[in-house]
């Protein structure tokens, strides 16, 4: 039987058949559309309407929707947060914030605060889907009626819309922005739950006084946390979103009370407060404070400003530099600031500046402003001058008429000004203090200075004061002022001499020294501070204790100035040319550099990088930077492997021979006990240090401390000029250091300095430097016999020298005996033999 089954069609034929069918159907649809378009008016109108809608949507998408931010970004939103600074004890000492922000979780907001804001802003928040259509319609009508009037229409935005505005799209005043709000509000409601939305709102809403969020506003307006707010205060905060700059001012108090009471009524209507509670709250005054209570100790000003500079250099100030910026990154910074030592440092330097200023009176304004009637407040606030000393304040003279004047303050208040200096005039910014119902002019000292303390064993800066008050200017004289160090540089000249063969007992001439500097400069002759030479030759120790310039120049010249400047550079003081004047402190340096150099002396020649920041954490607590970068490879082993305990490597670097450093410190102890810093002797502590006074004198210095803590201070005018012929480091600078020590005495150890290996203590005559074999050595006052520090090889050299002298003496005595024996008579009864004279006691041999 024949096969009657049709042959299978090929893929090519199937594809062709499908194409043909599509063309037939498309042709039929097109014919249907053309037919209806020609014959049906309704069809044409529907087509026009659909086209218009599609065109409108395309325009809206291109103009608005295409650029809308993602609502999902709120899930990972990180608000700008201030950087918090902690001191050495872990307590918060400062925050860097251009906007006051405190982030709380939803559960941290008290119910009365939440209900107050819902009553004022969005009472249907818990039930709507992001948009209150009734409110939107009213806002549109209000907007249309106010076009051209210059008045702003009411918002009509829900809290969800305000979250979109505050975080995602900004506060542009337009219908376009309102439309964006509506679109984003719907998207936000689909991404976040109500609690999350309300948490964002209460943390981000701007409420005036640079405060963002309810907690920050509570601190700004009432000086308290939100869990301490009364119902009246919570209602007041709830009125601020409408007009924070208006309701937050005292002159609009009546309007604020009226609006606050309306919120309280709304809370009662919504069942969130009882009528009795509302009545009691309405009876309360606003109670807002004139200005925010200062929550941080202002004595930390210079320290935290220096920390801010270093953080800004590393991470930037604003978010456009990265996620860890100073003013928005929410960093947590642990510093080495010792609050007690910082307070003592500020008080000691201020006391000295005021003491020197004495009765000089008003020396001029802190700043000058262009003041016109009713327009002085803005420039004064922008100048941002403050002072934190006793009851002083900073203000600007708004007007002066003969013996009468008015002072204006940054809070907008004014008061009569009395005690007028003749030169003061309108526009002068000055310090004042209360005088009855008026204020009197106070003089901020024109002379200034800088002071710094650091831990010698770690390099951590403990305290820093860069002037009279950080609120008067950010220039930090402890780290930024380049000053001549004077005689405080001499220990490193003497240390170089010790490195190249000298000892503390080396005799050095205290005599005139002249050097020819070439045809252009001629001959230069050095002098001591008292403009004369003592004459004679003295021990190196005596020269350092009495700060003799001529002896220092002799040591520098004999050792080689090229070697001296290398030592000065190695300890971080500065890079100088090998000129002898630099051995007397003619080069420029800072207090910070000098203190770190002396820290190397105290730490037996080991120096650490100076640091103020221990470590930095990001907003999530992760450490992103630390000063101590050492690693301990085996510190986290699960089990002990039987090997030695792992130890960290040393962070410091040796910049001086440990023995040399100790010898210098030992001599500098004499500066305190009987030298130019004898003002410190009655402290009864093991201290070392050196005073300094530069030509003029334009600067007076003291740098010193003990083996744990080292500090330094200078006083001088910012534009160097003479302080007066009586000004000396020992009488002006050393007492400042003494005041700090007395105020913090429990922290200062009574343990003596520890000598390194290969240093031997030898009894010597303090004046001649020669070894003494009897008597008692006392390293106090003007004892005749003291203990002196020698390197072991120097003592061996001297021992070898004594052996050689003894051998020569024995040989001489033997020769004399031989001569006498040869001259005796022969045969006859010999004359009675005379006993040879006893050998003279050996003279003490000096150690050099």
| Active-site residue set | 121, 487
Cα–Cα dist 769/790, whole Å: 12
In angstroms, the Cα distances linking 685 to 457, 761, 788 are: 19, 20, 19
Q: Are the beta carbons of 447 and 723 closer than 8 angstroms?
A: yes
Tokens at residue 587, please?
Answer: 């080069």
Q: Are the beta carbons of 680 and 738 closer than 8 angstroms?
A: yes
Q: Are the beta carbons of 753 and 686 closer than 8 angstroms?
A: yes
What's the DSSP call for residue 480? T
Cα–Cα dist 624/605, whole Å: 31
Q: Are the beta carbons of 656 and 605 closer than 8 angstroms?
A: yes
Give me the count of residues in the chain.
848
Phi, psi of 602 (to 5 degrees): -65, -30
* 99 CB burial (10 A radius; 0-12, 13-18, 19+): middle
Cα–Cα dist 654/652, whole Å: 7
Tokens at residue 708, please?
Answer: 């744990």
β-pair type (438-442, 448-455): unpaired
Cα–Cα dist 479/450, whole Å: 8
Contacts of 831 (CB under 8 A, 6+ apart): 824, 825
Phi, psi of 705 (to 5 degrees): 155, -145
Phi, psi of 606 (to 5 degrees): -95, 125
Q: What is the CA radius of gyration of the chain?
A: 42
Cα–Cα dist 116/258, whole Å: 15
Phi, psi of 765 (to 5 degrees): -75, 125
Cα–Cα dist 800/837, whole Å: 27
E strands, 107-172, are: none
Q: Are the beta carbons of 680 and 771 closer than 8 angstroms?
A: no
What's the DSSP call for residue 329? B
Cα–Cα dist 790/763, whole Å: 10
Q: For 169-274, where are the alpha helices, taking DSSP H only?
A: 175-191, 194-204, 214-222, 231-239, 244-247, 253-269
E strands, 517-585, are: 523-526, 537-539
Could you tell me the end-to-end alpha-carbon distance of the chain, in angstroms, rounded to an integer? 137
Cα–Cα dist 787/776, whole Å: 9
Tokens at residue 361, please?
Answer: 């009176």
Tokens at residue 171, please?
Answer: 């506060």
Residue 609 neighbours by CB distance under 10 Å: 13
Site of tokens 């002019």:
441
In angstroms, the Cα distances linking 775 to 524, 539, 682, 830 are: 45, 20, 25, 46
Cα–Cα dist 787/760, whole Å: 10
How many helices and strands, by DSSP H and E, does the chain display? 23, 26
Cα–Cα dist 395/413, whole Å: 10
Phi, psi of 202 (to 5 degrees): -70, -20
Tokens at residue 393, please?
Answer: 């304040």
Under DSSP, is residue 649 helix (H, G, I), strand (E, B) or coil?
coil
Cis peptide before 737 (omega within 30 of 0): no
E strands, 627-758, are: 653-654, 688-693, 700-705, 709-716
């Amino acid at each position: 039987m024949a096969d009657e089954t049709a042959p299978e069609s090929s893929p090519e034929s199937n594809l062709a058949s499908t194409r043909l069918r599509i063309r037939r159907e498309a042709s039929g649809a097109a014919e249907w559309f053309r037919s209806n378009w020609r014959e049906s008016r309704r069809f044409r109108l529907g087509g026009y309407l659909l086209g218009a809608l599609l065109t409108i949507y395309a325009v809206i998408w291109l103009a608005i929707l295409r650029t809308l931010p993602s609502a999902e970004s709120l899930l990972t939103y990180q608000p700008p947060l201030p950087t918090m600074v902690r001191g050495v004890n872990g307590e918060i000492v400062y925050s860097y914030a251009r906007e006051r922000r405190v982030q709380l979780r939803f559960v941290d907001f008290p119910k009365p605060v939440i209900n107050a804001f819902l009553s004022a802003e969005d009472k249907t928040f818990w039930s709507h889907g992001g948009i209150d259509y009734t409110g939107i319609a009213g806002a549109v009508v209000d907007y249309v009626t106010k076009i051209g009037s210059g008045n702003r229409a009411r918002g009509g935005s829900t809290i969800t819309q305000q979250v979109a505005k505050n975080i995602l799209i900004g506060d542009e005043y337009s219908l376009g922005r309102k439309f964006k709000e509506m679109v984003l509000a719907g998207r936000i409601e689909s991404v976040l739950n109500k609690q999350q939305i309300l948490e964002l709102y209460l943390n981000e809403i701007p409420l005036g006084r640079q405060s963002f969020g309810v907690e920050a506003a509570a601190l700004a307006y009432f000086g308290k946390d939100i869990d301490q707010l009364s119902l009246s205060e919570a209602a007041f905060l709830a009125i601020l979103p409408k007009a924070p700059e208006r309701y937050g001012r005292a002159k609009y108090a009546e309007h604020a009370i009226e609006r606050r009471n309306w919120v309280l009524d709304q809370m009662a209507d919504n069942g969130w407060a009882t009528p009795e509670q509302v009545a009691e709250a309405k009876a309360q005054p606003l109670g807002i404070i004139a200005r925010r209570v200062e929550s941080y100790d202002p004595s930390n000003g210079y320290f935290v400003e220096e920390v801010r500079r270093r953080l800004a250099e590393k991470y930037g100030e604003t978010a456009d530099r990265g996620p860890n910026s100073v003013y928005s990154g929410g960093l947590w910074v642990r510093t080495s600031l010792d609050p007690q030592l910082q307070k003592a440092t500020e008080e000691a330097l201020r006391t000295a500046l005021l003491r020197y200023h004495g009765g000089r009176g008003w020396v001029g304004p802190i700043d000058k402003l262009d003041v016109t009637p009713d327009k002085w407040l803005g420039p004064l606030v922008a100048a941002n001058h403050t002072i934190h000393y006793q009851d002083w304040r900073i203000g600007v003279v708004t007007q002066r008429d003969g013996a009468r004047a008015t002072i204006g303050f940054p809070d907008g208040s004014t008061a009569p000004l009395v005690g007028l200096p003749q030169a003061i005039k309108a526009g002068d910014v000055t310090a004042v203090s209360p005088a009855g119902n008026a204020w009197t002019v106070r003089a901020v000292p024109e002379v200034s200075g800088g002071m710094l303390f650091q831990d010698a064993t770690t390099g951590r800066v403990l305290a820093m004061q860069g002037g009279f008050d950080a609120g008067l200017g950010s220039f930090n004289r402890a780290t930024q002022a380049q000053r001549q160090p004077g005689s405080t540089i001499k220990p490193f000249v003497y240390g170089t001499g010790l490195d190249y063969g000298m000892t503390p007992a080396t005799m050095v001439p205290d005599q005139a020294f002249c050097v020819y500097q070439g045809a252009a400069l001629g001959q230069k002759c050095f002098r001591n501070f008292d403009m004369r030479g003592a004459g004679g030759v003295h021990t190196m120790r005596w020269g350092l204790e009495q700060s003799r310039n001529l002896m220092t120049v002799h040591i520098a010249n004999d050792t080689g100035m090229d070697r001296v400047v290398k030592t000065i550079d190695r300890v971080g003081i500065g890079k100088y040319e090998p000129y002898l004047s630099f051995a007397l402190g003619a080069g420029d340096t800072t207090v910070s550099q000098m203190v770190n150099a002396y820290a190397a002396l105290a730490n037996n020649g080991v120096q650490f990088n100076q640091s103020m920041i221990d470590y930095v954490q990001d907003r999530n607590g992760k450490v992103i930077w630390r000063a101590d970068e050492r690693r301990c490879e085996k510190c986290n082993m699960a089990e002990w492997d039987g090997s030695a305990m792992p130890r960290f490597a040393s962070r410091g670097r040796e910049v001086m021979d440990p023995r040399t450093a100790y010898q210098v410190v030992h001599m500098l102890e004499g500066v305190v006990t009987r030298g130019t810093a004898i003002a410190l002797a009655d402290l009864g502590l093991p201290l070392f240090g050196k005073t300094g006074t530069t030509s003029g004198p334009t600067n007076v210095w003291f740098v010193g401390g003990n083996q744990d803590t080292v500090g330094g201070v200078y006083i001088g005018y910012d534009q160097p000029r003479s302080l007066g012929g009586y000004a000396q480091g020992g009488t002006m600078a050393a007492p400042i250091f003494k005041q700090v020590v007395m105020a913090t005495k429990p922290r200062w150890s009574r343990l003596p300095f520890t000598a390194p290996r290969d240093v031997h203590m030898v009894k010597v005559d303090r004046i001649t430097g020669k070894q003494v074999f009897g008597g008692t050595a006392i390293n106090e006052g003007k004892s005749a016999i003291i203990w002196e520090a020698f390197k072991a090889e120097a003592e061996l050299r001297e021992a070898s020298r004594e052996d050689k002298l003894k051998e020569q003496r024995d040989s001489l005595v033997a020769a004399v005996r031989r001569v006498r024996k040869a001259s005796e008579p022969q045969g006859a009864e010999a004359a009675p033999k005379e006993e040879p004279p006893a050998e003279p006691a050996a003279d003490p041999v000096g150690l050099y």
